[in-house]
Amino acid sequence: MTDPVIEIRNLHKSYSALEVLKGVDVTAPAGHVVSLIGSSGSGKSTLLRCANLLEDSQEGDVIFCGEPVVWKGTGLHRHPGDHAQMIRIRTNLSMVFQQFNLWSHMTILQNVMEAPLTVLKRDRAEVEASARAYLDKVGIGDKCDVYPAQLSGGQQQRAAIARALCMEPKALLFDEPTSALDPELEQEVVKVIKDLAAEGRTMLVVTHDMRMARDISDHVVFLHQGLIEEEGPPEAVFDAPQSERLRGFLSVTQ
C-alpha cells in the first residue's frame, strides 16, 4: 500500500449532546479513491469536514501525510492547536461541495484564481495560466469571463472542480458533487471525476451515485449512524454485501 495522504483514526465527533461519529477509521492512500456511502444523516459530510479540519472533533486522530494533527484542549473544547498546520492541511485537501459554492460576484476565471493568489500568494501570471489550463481540462475553457449564474449546474460544478485543482492539493474531497444536478448534467461531472480517478488522484468521495462509486473506487466505506457498518473493495461491497443494513441500503439506491 502507498503512503496514506489522509488517515482518520477512531474519530469521535459530537454536536453538543449529539454524537455523530462514534469512532471511525478511514485511510486514503496516495493515488487511491475511497468512497463514503450511507443514508442521509449517517455522518458522511461531517467526516469530510473533520478530515480537512473545517470541524473540530472530540477524540481520535487525523493524520495528514504522516503528520498527526496537533490538538489543543479536550472533549468538546478540543481544536487544532497549530494554526500553520491547520492551514497547510486545509489547503492541501481541496473540497468540492454539492452546491458548488462559487463566488457569484466573480467571473469563473477569478473564482479559480482567488485562493491560489490570496491564500498561497502565488504569482498571478502563473496562477492564471494554471487556472485556464484546469478550466480547459474540465471542458469549460471558453467560460473564463462569465459569471457563475450564466452557467448550467454541471458547468458550475466543473468550475468548482477546476478551482479545487488549481490549489494543487494532495487530495480532493467531494461531498455529493452530483446530487444537485439534473440527470443529464450529472454525467458530465461524473466523467470529470472519473478522469481524475484514472489519473491517480487521491480522493475521498461522498456520493449517492452507486454506479460512479463502483467505477472509480479502490475502497468503499458504508457508514451507518456514525459507525462503519461495512467496507471493502467495490466488488465486495456492491456485489456481495454482508450486512443486512448495507443490503437494505443498496436495494433502495441502485
Q: Which is nearer to ligand ADP, 208 or 214 (CB)?
A: 208
**Count of residues near ligand ADP by CB under 6 A:** 11
Rounded to the nearest whole angstrom, what is the least distance from the CB of residue 121 to ligand ADP in the complex?
Answer: 31
Q: Which is nearer to ligand ADP, 42 or 107 (CB)?
A: 42
Is 43 among the residues that bind ligand ADP (CB under 6 A)?
yes
Among 2, 15, 142, 198, which residue sits at the site for ligand ADP (rule: CB under 6 A)? 15
Q: Which is nearer to Mg ion, 130 or 157 (CB)?
A: 157
Angle at 73 (CA atoms; ends 75, 58), nearest 5 degrees:
30
Binding site for Mg ion (CB under 5 A): 45
User: What residue type is assigned to position 134 of the chain?
Assistant: Y
Secondary structure letter of residue 237 according to DSSP: I
Is 234 among the residues that bind ligand ADP (CB under 6 A)?
no
Find which of ligand ADP, Mg ion, none residue 50 binds, CB within 5 to 8 Å per kind: none
Structural contact between residues 173 and 184, judged by C-beta atoms closer than 8 angstroms: no
Rounded to the nearest whole angstrom, what is the least distance from the CB of residue 135 to ligand ADP in the complex?
Answer: 29
Spatial neighbors of 114 by CB under 8 A, at least 6 apart, are 103, 106, 163
CA distance 208 to 42: 12
Q: Which is nearer to ligand ADP, 20 or 102 (CB)?
A: 20
Rounded to the nearest whole angstrom, what is the least distance from the CB of residue 106 to ligand ADP in the complex?
Answer: 27
Rounded to the nearest whole angstrom, what is the least distance from the CB of residue 97 to ligand ADP in the complex?
Answer: 11
Rounded to the nearest whole angstrom, what is the least distance from the CB of residue 186 to ligand ADP in the complex?
Answer: 18
Quick one: CA torsion of 88, 94, 100, 105, rounded to 10 degrees? 40
CA distance 228 to 50: 16
CA distance 192 to 239: 25
Find which of Mg ion, ligand ADP, none residue 118 binds, CB within 5 to 8 Å per kind: none
Pattern 66-105, ligand ADP, x by CB under 6 A:
----------------------------------------
Instruction: Kindly state the cell numbers that stand for 53.
Output: 479540519
Spatial neighbors of 36 by CB under 8 A, at least 6 apart, are 26, 44, 47, 48, 204, 205, 206, 207, 221, 223
Find which of ligand ADP, Mg ion, none residue 42 binds, CB within 5 to 8 Å per kind: ligand ADP
Spatial neighbors of 8 by CB under 8 A, at least 6 apart, are 24, 25, 26, 27, 47, 50, 51, 60, 61, 62, 63
- What does the binding site for ligand ADP look like in residue numbers (CB under 6 A)? 15, 18, 20, 38, 40-46
